[in-house]
Amino acid sequence: MGVGQLDCTEKTTATAAVLSICESLIALSDLKIIGKSETLAVLEDAAATHRNAIARSPNPDQRRAVATLIQRIIEDRSPKSRP
pLDDT in tens, 23-67: 999 999 999 999 999 999 999 999 999 999 999 999 899 999 999
Alpha helix ranges (H) inside 1-83:
8-30, 36-53, 60-77
Report the distance separating Cα 27 and Cα 65, nearest Å: 24
Q: Report whether pLDDT(1) > 60.
A: no
Q: Greater confidence, 81 or 74? A: 74
| pLDDT for the residue 24 | 95
pLDDT in tens, 56-67: 999 899 999 999
pTM over 0.85: no
